Homo-oligomer: A and B are copies of this chain.
Amino acid sequence: MKARVHVMLKNGVLDPQGEAVKHALGAIGFAGVDGVRQGKVIELDLADGTDEATIGQMCEKLLANTVIESYTIEVL
């Protein structure tokens, strides 16, 4: 089975990477870019029957820094 995990910085946490992308898009001529947030997407190829709780533990223990990042799990 496959699962996809999105890890994004929480709202209110400064995202310098996103800010850099926003300014760069403006600099190369794309107007109207009001905000950019950049995060990670992790695609996991797991043994069949792995439950969402286990994937949640992977996020808590390794994939996300839950102090500043939030994660969402999507089983494909």
Interface size class of A (residues with CB under 8 A): 20 to 34
By the criterion CB–CB under 8 Å, are B32 and A37 in contact?
no
Sample of 27 A–B contacts (CB below 8 Å): A8-B43, A18-B42, A18-B43, A21-B42, A21-B63, A24-B62, A25-B58, A25-B62, A28-B61, A28-B62, A30-B54, A30-B57, A33-B44, A34-B45, A36-B43, A36-B45, A37-B42, A37-B43, A38-B40, A38-B42, A38-B43, A39-B40, A39-B41, A39-B43, A40-B40, A40-B41, A41-B41
Interface residues, chain A, with chain B CB atoms under 8 Å away: 6, 8, 18, 21, 24-25, 28, 30-47, 50, 54, 57-58, 61-63
